Amino acid sequence: MPPLTGPKSGDALFGSVERVNAELFTLTYGAIVRQLLTDLEEVEEVNKQLDQMGYNIGTRLVDEFLAKSNVSRCVDFKETADVIAKLGFKMFLGVTATVTNWDAEGTSCSFVLEDNPLVDFVELPDTCQGLQYCNVLSGVIRGALEMVSMKTEVTWVRDMLRGDDAYEMRVKLTKQVPEEYPYKDD
Ligand code: MYR
């Protein structure tokens, strides 16, 4: 009988399972986008739905992120942005982002992704030129940040599916709700 072939260590096996999961996620997301395009007809409506889906995911994902990463409260928005770029993207997308293009106030920055697994296998037909395919990701960031008291506006400024040289998401902090200490000192 020939020897069994395949991954020899647990790590190798785990790595291949993760890759399959990532591909399944990418393909499933593509199927969802395609279905929304069929159902909603207007690309602008699809963009809104993808953002809303992402927002809903983000409001839940943040708990998992905080539990798994052991990150404690960040001192400011800059630290939060670094945590998302280095740990958040890595945990849920398998890649890291670069934080750049800060404004003078330290309230707007960009996340730049050179590699974006969400778009593997994707090509936009000419009829979908206004489609913001990755809106689920900007929605996730908006939803997650809202759960830690930061209201943001998140928009895409570069998109490789539209011929740009990278993916760039602009995150603008619009309101930071100070957290109230729940007990009174007597
Ligand atoms: C803090 O300031 O309290 C720490 C807040 C960290 C928020 C982290 C949000 C994680 C978002 C995951 C991003 C996933 C991108 C695909």
Instruction: Specify if 34 maps to a domain.
Output: yes
Total domains in the chain come to 1
Instruction: Specify if 184 maps to a domain.
Output: no
CA dihedral 79, 85, 91, 94 (to 10 degrees): -160
* Average pLDDT of span 16-32: 86
For ligand 1, the distance from its centroid to the CA atom of residue 149, given in whole angstroms, is 11
Question: Which residue among 74, 98, 115 has the greatest number of ligand 1 atoms within 8 angstroms of its CB, and so is best to mutate?
Answer: 74
Residue 61 CB less than 6 A away from ligand 1: yes
20 three-state secondary structure: helix
Instruction: Specify if 24 maps to a domain.
Output: yes
Residue 88 CB less than 6 A away from ligand 1: yes
Using 50, 70 and 90 to split pLDDT, how confident is the model at 20?
confident
> What is the domain range of residue 139?
11-176
Q: Measured between alpha carbons, how far apart are the two ends of the chain, in Å?
A: 78
For ligand 1, the distance from its centroid to the CA atom of residue 142, given in whole angstroms, is 10
Instruction: Specify if 1 maps to a domain.
Output: no
For ligand 1, the distance from its centroid to the CA atom of residue 121, given in whole angstroms, is 27
What number of other Cβ atoms are within 10 A of residue 71's Cβ?
15
Instruction: Specify if 115 maps to a domain.
Output: yes
Using 50, 70 and 90 to split pLDDT, how confident is the model at 11?
low
Instruction: Specify if 181 maps to a domain.
Output: no
Q: What does the pLDDT read at residue 21?
A: 82
pLDDT tens by residue, 63-104: 999 999 999 889 999 999 999 999 999 999 999 999 999 999
Is the pLDDT reported for residue 49 higher than 90?
yes
C-beta of residue 94 within 8 angstroms of C-beta of residue 15? no
Q: What does the pLDDT read at residue 41?
A: 82
Q: Ligand 1 atom 6: the closest Cα is on which residue?
A: 80
Q: What does the pLDDT read at residue 183?
A: 59
Q: What does the pLDDT read at residue 7?
A: 44
* Contacts made by residues 172-178, CB under 8 angstroms, sequence distance 24+: 172/107, 172/108, 173/77, 173/107, 173/108, 175/150, 175/151, 176/77, 176/149, 176/150, 176/151, 177/149, 177/150, 177/151, 178/149
Instruction: Specify if 6 maps to a domain.
Output: no
- Whole-number mean pLDDT of the chain? 89
Residue 47 is encoded by which pair of tokens?
Answer: 């963009």
Instruction: Specify if 4 maps to a domain.
Output: no
State how far the Cα of 129 lies from the Cα of 106, in Å rounded to an integer: 32
Looking up tokens 């960031």 gives 141
For ligand 1, the distance from its centroid to the CA atom of residue 71, given in whole angstroms, is 9
Q: What does the pLDDT read at residue 5?
A: 44
CATH code of 53's domain: 3.30.1380.20
- Within 8 A by CB and 6+ apart from 84, the residues are 97, 111, 141, 144
Q: What does the pLDDT read at residue 3?
A: 46
State how far the Cα of 186 lies from the Cα of 63, in Å rounded to an integer: 32
